[in-house]
């Protein structure tokens, strides 16, 4: 149906119902941040069930005190004609803060003449949780890389000392000759071999630590890859949300234009009503004049004197005088 064929009251009621049932949070705020209108989603966002609980109140009352200056700067800029966005928290009754992203556009030439803005809101707590998870996994990956580097350095040091000790043992054995010649020398060889075995054990432990660090690093890498896949999905959803936000902004602009069109339609309707009243009055005046002319012509046709009309006549305008009827009798 053409929008011009709708009755203004029906159209206004329909548009108001659409705004109230929108899944997105939509509000109309005054220049000072006073809530002038809010749909059901916006009421749910701030934890109320009825518009009577919020209408006429400053929206910053639901924000932490340390963010109200930022909110005031946002609303001041929007009312002056600059669409903008801002991120602020909403304080829940439990004291927990819920991060919200607000988008505002100015509403000019509103029918009620009040300077105001249209504000859309969207919760972004899920996005913050993903960002925090990314930061935590990156920190774990850096920590495991550091552990793996340390283990490799220890392993290299142990291998170097093992080679050095093995060289010393070989040199000592060559200088001492066959075992048993010198008990003191044999004791030194045993001590060196025991030291070499201890070094081998330490080297094995370092190798095990290196492998464990590499396993942790591989697990962290797998976690990071999984997170990258999740981030790719989040990026796709974010693009969709951006597109939806653009569509919401377009709908707001269209609703603003529709409101202006309704205002012009109401003015045209009032002008048509005034013209109709004027035509009705003119029609009545012409009808009375025509009836007077008919009476006058009938009187002339029957040879009666013309009846008096107007404010100076005896009787109602357009009626034949009583004197004419008596002459006929």
Mean pLDDT of the region 81-100: 86
Model pLDDT for residues 184-232, shown as the tens digit of each residue: 666 777 787 788 888 888 888 888 888 888 888 788 778 778 877 877 7
Residues 63 and 111 in one domain: yes
Last residue within a domain, chosen from 99, 123, 147: 123
Residues 144 and 40 in one domain: no
Residues 52 and 88 in one domain: yes
Residues 43 and 116 in one domain: yes
Last residue within a domain, chosen from 108, 123, 138: 123
Examine the pLDDT at 3 and tell me if it is beyond 50: no
> What pLDDT is recorded for position 283?
82
Residues 105 and 76 in one domain: yes
Last residue within a domain, chosen from 215, 236, 257: 236
Whether 189 maps to a domain, the answer reads yes
CATH number at residue 89: 3.30.450.20
Residues 46 and 154 in one domain: no
Which helix (H) or strand (E) covers residue 121, if one does?
strand 116-123
Residues 52 and 135 in one domain: no
Domain range for 173 is 130-236
Quote the CA–CA distance of 54 and 73 in Å, as a whole number.
21
Quote the CA–CA distance of 1 and 6 in Å, as a whole number.
8
Strand order across the beta sheet in which 116-123 lies: 35-38, 25-30, 116-123, 97-107, 84-91
Residues 89 and 31 in one domain: yes
Mean pLDDT of the chain: 77
> What pLDDT is recorded for position 322?
41
């Amino acid at each position: 149906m053409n929008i011009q064929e709708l009755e203004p009251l029906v159209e206004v009621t329909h548009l108001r119902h659409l705004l109230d049932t929108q899944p997105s949070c939509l509000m109309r705020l005054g220049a000072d941040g006073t809530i002038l209108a809010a749909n059901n989603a916006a009421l749910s966002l701030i934890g109320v069930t009825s518009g009577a609980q919020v209408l006429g109140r400053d929206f910053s009352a639901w924000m932490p005190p340390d963010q109200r200056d930022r909110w005031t700067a946002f609303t001041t800029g929007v009312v002056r004609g600059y669409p903008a966005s801002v991120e602020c928290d909403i304080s829940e009754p439990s004291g927990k803060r819920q991060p919200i992203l607000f988008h505002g556009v100015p509403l000019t030439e509103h029918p009620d003449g009040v300077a105001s803005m249209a504000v859309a809101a969207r919760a972004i707590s899920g996005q913050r949780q993903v960002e925090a998870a990314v930061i935590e996994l990156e920190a774990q990956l850096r920590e495991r890389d550091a552990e793996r580097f340390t283990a490799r350095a220890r392993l290299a040091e142990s291998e170097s000392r093992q080679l050095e000790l093995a060289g010393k043992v070989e040199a000592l054995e060559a200088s001492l000759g066959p075992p048993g010649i010198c008990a003191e020398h044999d004791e030194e060889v045993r001590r060196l071999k025991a030291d070499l075995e201890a070094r081998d054990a330490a080297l094995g432990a370092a190798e095990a630590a290196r492998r464990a660090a590499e396993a942790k690093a591989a697990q962290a890498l797998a976690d990071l890859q999984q997170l990258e896949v999740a981030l790719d999905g989040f990026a796709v959803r974010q693009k969709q949300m951006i597109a939806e936000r653009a569509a919401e902004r377009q709908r707001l602009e269209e609703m603003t234009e529709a409101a202006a069109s309704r205002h012009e339609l109401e003015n045209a309707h009032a002008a048509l009503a005034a013209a109709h009243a004027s035509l009705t009055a003119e029609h009545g005046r012409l009808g009375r004049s025509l009836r007077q002319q008919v009476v006058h012509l009938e009187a002339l046709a029957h040879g009666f004197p013309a009846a008096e009309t107007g404010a100076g006549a005896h009787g109602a305008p357009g009626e034949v005088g009583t004197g004419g009827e008596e002459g006929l009798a």
